[in-house]
A and B are shown apart, each in its own frame.
Chain A
Amino acid sequence: MRRGAFQLLALSALLLAGVSGAQEAEDAGTLEVPATSDAAPAAEGAPGEATPAEEPPPGFAHQVEANGYLANRLAYGRSRFSGLISTADLPQWLDLLELNAQLKVSYHPHGFAYADVSAIAQLGLDYRSLDSSGFEQTTMWRDAPGVRPLISLNELYVLHEFAPWLNLLIGKKRLTWGASLAFNPTDLLNVRKDPTDPTFQRAGAWLARLEVPLESSAFTLLFAPQVTESAFGIPYGLLAYPDWDSKRPDTDVHYLVAARAYFLVADTDVNVMAYFSNKYLDDFANKVRLGASVSRIFFDTWEVHAEGLLQQGSARAYVEPECVASPMAAVRCAAQVRAFASRSRLTDPTWLPTAVVGVRKTFDDDSFASVEYLFQADGYRPDQYQDLVNAYDGVAQARALGVNPATLMGASLLFPQASGDGSTPSRFSFAPTAKHYAFITLNKPRIRDDFTAQLVVIGNLQDLSTLWTPSLTWSTTEWLQLQLVGFIPVPGPNALAARLQSTGRYVSEYGSFPQLFRVFFEVRLFY
């Protein structure tokens, strides 16, 4: 496939559709916003006195619908500057201002263009970290990559329905086929959602999708090219790294092809999925993966779901135990130019499942409780997690001795790069490392009508460390929402934790969270 051809085609189609829709709406001299609530209410009248009906609506008219929000989030998090993860780029105070706009232009009775865009400005203050002597150092201001302003093109697509049973979508859209709430193993397309608030991450993936919806089934085929170049959240390279990019890591074509069949059978949602990808957001080449999900309501108020992905091998990075067993072993590996970490199971023929099973119970007052269990066969065993901790410990030691860990072979795999696709900054990035996790959500809406309380607990079931996320949301009016959220990582028992070789300190997954705690207050105005 010719490099850049797809992105040009897709972007041209989007722009043409958007311009065409907007132009036609303008030509028609109308900017119609369907406003059912603005319609005149039914005339008051005594029972039995029938009044004449309103005229039926006219046929199709070009429509532009716009809505969105303005949100400001002020967060404070106490940096765990003496932990395993560097906090040099992590501000203790962060103010994030987001202006979101969602625009839908219906350019045809069977087609529309849609955009969901956020402009984000951030201000980070008070950076705490350790200096080379091991003492706390404070920097009030700095240019941290995660705190730069950005435009997040969450979604931007055109959808055209050629017939009720055939539609085509081109652009960027967040598609989720799986039934799980906190974590979707079958979601190979999107930026991971935040399990402490699955509604928060709204950024999708660039793709072309052909769908055949039928009465109780649907069949989908999609092609997704990877974004290779972007600036301020706006992509300008898809599928392959351009020739002019002096830092291009490879000359491969990065894409994913997926097919999905959906069936509504015996009141159960059933999805069956197949994926073929080549270095799409991971290092798998020509990889086939299979997925499935089911969801059903039992006994009127119990929603039960399961979702799983099956793949051969793993793209996860594993630490070489012989290189991190001791400082001397590390020196020996460095001298022999052996990799400290590698994707050693990339071509492993073993079928490795990742699965989530869960249940959600809704109560009479609309509160709900949800419990989900995640199993990932390629997750670290406790001894492999100990190797990882040893590696992080060694990196910290090397830094203290003035050695740049980036020069050590394979060490870069221990520090995965954040997505450069300009997605909305996460409250919390969930990158599960262990084999077993639990997610518990308790939600109680309408406490004194406008308040919703929620508690989300994520637990690593191997070391029993947890992350507690309580929140209180107040919908003060129909257009203003205030939210207070806390993040409290709690270490697991020492008996289940890994141990630092350098200090003997115990380390569990959430006990090594780069912040001791975090709270934020958000004001969101809808329009």
Chain B
Amino acid sequence: MHALVLMLLAADPTVAELLAKYDSIMGPAQFEAEATMTATREDGTARTYGMKFLKKDQDKFRLWFSEPAAVKGQEMLRNGDNLWIYIPNLKRATRVANRDNFQGGDFNNADVLRVNYQADYDGKLIDSDAPDAWCIELKAKSKETSYDSIKLWMRKSDFQPLKGQYFGTSGQMIRSATFTDHKEFEKGFTRPGRIVMQNELVKTRKSEMRTSRMTLKVDVPAQRFTQADLGK
């Protein structure tokens, strides 16, 4: 009996369990965070954007840009499958698509504003080239998702994501990501503090997202996630 319990404990987790873990780490049900994204372009120069995030429920996301001065005041909102951007000079919100690049960098809007792999992808465990990591192969459930398929490596000891490869409909790898600087942002909540998204089509391009602050203890009204709240 004792041996059976040990065997069960040592058994591989299911893909559903791994995806649930990934979503709870990378997209907890609600949080507030501050981060910077540095986009390195083809000519080697870089642009840095400062931003604040707010998330509630599984599908409500709000983002405010604070840097640089040229984009300060821009806001983004996701509510379900709907995504809007508020541009201060336009003085109104405009709908945008999930697949649009996030501020011209190598993340797309859904990478940043939608982390719900359980809902968006089916997956299976495949052989991992790293002995300390699980490797999952994900296939998009619909054409609405950012990528057609994803390969994801998660550390066996604590389920933290380590690496990702993202593929387009042609099967070509279009992005790859490394997740590092795992940090306990709040007691009992650890996640990568740094994500580097490499553009695999244009190798000189990459974007780096650094999270400087993150808290899960937020209490925000649902009205913050409405189109009417943009630009306030």
Contact = CB atoms under 8 A, between A and B. Distances in A.
A43 B211 CA distance: 10
Interface size, B (range): 35 or more
A37 B182 contact: no
A214 B223 contact: yes
A159 B210 contact: no
Interface of A is mostly: loop
Contact of A269 (B48, B97, B144, B227): B227
Interface stretch (A132-140, A330-338, A475-483, A487-495): A475-483
Given A267-B81, A269-B95, A303-B95, A54 B69 contact: no
A218 interface: yes
Candidate in A175, A202, A478 with the most chain B CB atoms within 10 angstroms = A478
B191 to A, nearest CB: 10
Interface stretch (B1-9, B117-125, B153-161): B153-161
A518 interface: no
A481 B69 CA distance: 11
B12 interface: no
A202 B92 CA distance: 11
Interface residues of A, number: 69
Interface stretch (A44-52, A283-291, A310-318): A44-52
Contacts of A215: 222-223, 225-226
Contact of B212 (A40, A47, A50, A303): A40
B98 A449 contact: no
B173 interface: no
Contact of A51 (B66, B94, B143, B184): B184
A13 B168 CA distance: 55
Contact of A35 (B50, B160, B185, B215): B50
B52 A53 contact: no
Interface stretch (A293-301, A347-355, A414-422, A434-442): A293-301
Candidate in A34, A167, A300 with the most chain B CB atoms within 10 angstroms = A300
Contact of A301 (B52, B99, B210): B99
Interface in B131-152: 143-144
Given A37-B49, A176-B91, A44 B213 contact: no
Contacts of B225: 215
A56 interface: yes
A327 to B, nearest CB: 48
A102 interface: yes
Interface of B: 34-36, 41-43, 45, 47-52, 66-70, 72-73, 79-83, 87-92, 94-101, 104, 143-144, 155, 157-158, 160, 162, 179-187, 190, 193-194, 210-215, 217, 221-229, 232
25 contacts: A36-B52, A39-B212, A42-B210, A45-B181, A47-B162, A47-B182, A50-B184, A51-B183, A53-B187, A56-B217, A57-B213, A67-B69, A69-B69, A102-B73, A102-B88, A164-B222, A199-B90, A214-B222, A220-B228, A262-B227, A269-B227, A301-B97, A450-B41, A475-B70, A481-B70
Interface of A: 34-45, 47-54, 56-57, 67, 69, 102, 159, 164-165, 167, 174-176, 181, 198-200, 202, 204, 211, 213-216, 218, 220, 262, 264, 267, 269, 295-297, 300-301, 303, 362, 364, 366, 445-446, 448-450, 475, 478-479, 481, 526-527
Given A214-B223, A264-B79, 15 more contacts: A35-B67, A36-B213, A37-B49, A37-B50, A47-B180, A53-B183, A53-B184, A215-B222, A215-B225, A296-B95, A300-B97, A300-B143, A450-B41, A478-B70, A479-B69
